[in-house]
Chains A and B, each alone.
Chain A
């Protein structure tokens, strides 16, 4: 019996007198995928958010449709830390398969809320246990047997609400938002949550320190996943051609984009200002992007590691023929199929140098959902300005998890179509040489197919070519062209997004991070200072090629830790290719590559160890 559990527990560890822990803990819900727990978890997340407490949610799910273990972690942090917290404070154990291991891996002092028949209490004596007879409760509130499985999860929402002091009016609001279009489902779920709450009131006695109190830190904020943010960003960036091949974790980007485009990009004539095509594979998807970019569209695709590998040849063509296009890489764990539903930054090096021959590509690296939105516009403008494929390196953690954010700002920068010659331009110029470096930035002038002028056409080719795009195997033509492409990449260095100097206080130690590592680093800086008296400066890199600020940062510091979410320290290796030899010795590496989003504790421990602490 649940109440006995609590009584026993109080008797054995006497921790009921612990200091309250308010708005600073993590909840993990361990369940089975396909059980409908996602809705319940979203309701919990939103409830805490609605109470004004900074919150983040991370879904750790299997590459499977139904029946395999899933964990959803919610972190509430009054400090505003939204990285994954390594330690779990409050476990909701719903999955018999993993319950034992889940409980055994908790740190002392944690809480376990479990399904009564699992009988987990006997496993540990240093935890707080509560149990709930879900099946009994669900039978009472849900007469329809086939719905019980789905509604069951909402019971733990009610129990957790009671135990953590969540406001039930906010729970109801979150449920009604979650099931906005399904009144009946909303009622069912709300009843289930209330039943859970009532059960906890009558049968469980609070004996753990974790509580939520109202704050005012989320007013006006939004909650969104990075892929939806990217989709919105692309729509407001004026994308016109979208081609894709479904692959986890990028599919939801295009699926979300389809919904947004249907809502906002159908003209008054009922016709679309876009084309979205599901291609037969990633080769075709990127081939269509190249073809559309050549013909003047703002074209994009979204993919993940295996798709990137397949796109290699075409991306080299895009680089050499100089065609704009935007490729979103929502990175997942490789090599090969790897772990499709786990996160990584494992494509940095392969994308930077993708394709055979001397190739280098521009990469933008968002850290937040806000940057997923804003970098979409930057990526399209840069692709057309530089006439080259531009990659946006998101990852599964950013793309598929829900993040709190300020609302996105409307793109103020106009759409730049780059150096495109019109019929009138050609009339004045009398002709043009496609690959001639007229302006000294390495970027030539191009024309679009269909331009109604006899000298508009040029012959785009992936074979060796001269300034006029004529076929050439001449050594001087080849070298001139490749050197100009290198100059163009140097020019790119001056126009890509600059890094963010998150902390720059003249410390001897510097840290360079990028992408989703930012959130763990943000927290780790405080931990290093508090726990080890190590003060670090921190530069967040936002693009490749590296701007001069990156070089300067390394130059100014005695040693610089590069934080990578991959095994081979890929960003560090890429920096080595760019830095003068005397600077490379300063670089140290912190790597995290187990498929889980990086956490502050791992970074702090790794740096402290290397600093001899």
Chain B
């Protein structure tokens, strides 16, 4: 836990009376040790601890190992495993139909940065309220280990093939395009990922989290820049990420000199203890610049790179009525006979 937990009467039950078991999913069919399984665990913990009603969550995914993972957490949430690279549009439609849903998209580096780059870009641009997680291992797992577009230059496949094309930095792209909460984490960094996910649940807008998630079968060897060993040796957190939900005691002290404190929509606090002096995660230009520098220096930088709690999200912009469009009754969606007569009169 990032913050000091408020003592609960029954530690096995969250604030809405559900046990962690209520957030579990089916048994994973991914490889033992797959980073994606660790991410599923963090998602379960985060939604449990935040006390989110699982029925309010819509899980969405594309195609690939990552996109299978929604079957392995939160079985009480509706889920849609759609087509390769096109989950953003399906998620957009779902949110338009019911803006009360908490959309959780799970994608992979191939699903996002190659086949799905077009829809990814437009999703970020719209700032749709969604948590979009890339389970990023730099390779295609289901088709047995080809490079993806996030593989670093010089990274080596098991077969000895070396990647020569520059990687797409999904975080840099997301910030430039308009996402309002952009972070990178590592599936092996339990504490950081957990805090980021909880903050993500409190955010209203596009949360884009690129989670480096090693593929134990095809990309965990010497020469890979997305292996457990490489990440453990090279991960450089930008901040120490702490999250205090609104329903907990917010009066926990922090030092403004060493921490950036961000108040989320629901009153939760995202507290980023600076490991780098002067880094301001609300400054978009600076965030992009810092990521470029990390790229030049071959740093595996993690943390919350950018956050903006002010910008209206896509649902706000559409000025939709508060009741979900999906459940509006006939009298609100079918205009009257008089209206039709008026339409006809104009055409006479």
Contact = CB atoms under 8 A, between A and B. Distances in A.
B348 A457 contact: no
B333 A449 contact: no
Interface residues of A, number: 73
Nearest to A239: B333
Interface in A456-513: 456-463, 471
A241 B321 contact: no
| Residue in B70, B78, B90, B330 with the greatest tally of chain A CB atoms within 10 Å | B90
| Residue in A269, A292, A407, A449 with the greatest tally of chain B CB atoms within 10 Å | A449
Contacts of A284: 86, 88-89, 92, 118-119, 122
Contacts of B340: 232, 236, 408, 410
B343 to A, nearest CB: 6
Given A287-B82, A294-B90, A240 B118 contact: no
B100 interface: yes
B96 A241 contact: yes
Contacts of A457: 54-55, 75-79
Interface string A230-242: 0010011111110
Contacts of B233: none
A459 B121 CA distance: 26
Given A288-B93, A292-B93, A407-B344, A452 B53 contact: yes
A295 B320 contact: no
B55 A454 contact: yes
A317 interface: yes
A449 B325 contact: no
Nearest to B343: A232
Nearest to B339: A264
A260 B119 CA distance: 29
B58 interface: yes
A421 interface: no
A296 B327 contact: yes
| Residue in A240, A267, A411, A460 with the greatest tally of chain B CB atoms within 10 Å | A240
Contacts of A456: 55, 78
A69 interface: no
Interface string A291-306: 1111111110000000
A271 interface: yes
A509 B347 CA distance: 39
Contacts of A415: 330, 333-334
Interface in A293-346: 293-299, 313-314, 317, 321
Chain B interface residue count: which class?
A: 35 or more
Interface in A17-46: none
Interface string B64-92: 00000011000111111111001011111
B137 to A, nearest CB: 21
B321 A448 contact: no
B66 to A, nearest CB: 14
B79 A295 contact: no
B337 interface: yes
A277 interface: yes
B322 interface: yes
Contacts of B76: 454, 457
A223 B343 contact: no
A408 B344 contact: yes
B328 A291 contact: no
| Residue in B83, B98, B325 with the greatest tally of chain A CB atoms within 10 Å | B325
A460 to B, nearest CB: 4
B337 A295 contact: no
A290 B326 contact: no
Contact of A277 (B79, B82, B96): B96
A267 B323 CA distance: 12
A313 B83 contact: yes
A297 B93 contact: yes
Contact of A292 (B54, B55, B82, B94): B94
A236 B335 contact: yes
B333 A294 contact: no
Interface string B309-348: 0000000001111101111101011110101100110011
B21 to A, nearest CB: 12
A450 interface: yes
A297 B326 contact: yes
A451 interface: yes
Contact of B92 (A221, A288, A411): A288
A265 B330 CA distance: 12
B97 interface: yes
A280 interface: yes
B234 interface: no
Nearest to B93: A291
Given A240-B326, A271-B320, 20 more contacts: A222-B348, A236-B334, A277-B318, A280-B121, A283-B86, A284-B88, A284-B92, A290-B89, A291-B92, A291-B93, A291-B94, A292-B96, A294-B97, A297-B93, A297-B96, A410-B340, A454-B22, A456-B78, A457-B76, A462-B82
Shortest Cβ-Cβ A-B pairs, 8 listed: A291-B93, A287-B89, A296-B326, A297-B97, A292-B93, A295-B97, A238-B333, A288-B93
27 contacts: A236-B340, A237-B334, A271-B319, A273-B320, A273-B332, A287-B90, A287-B92, A288-B93, A290-B89, A291-B96, A291-B97, A292-B93, A292-B97, A295-B97, A295-B98, A295-B326, A296-B326, A296-B327, A313-B83, A317-B82, A317-B83, A410-B340, A449-B58, A449-B77, A451-B55, A457-B76, A463-B81
Interface of A: 220-224, 232, 235-241, 243, 260, 264-265, 267, 269-275, 277, 279-281, 283-299, 313-314, 317, 321, 407-408, 410-411, 414-415, 447-454, 456-463, 471
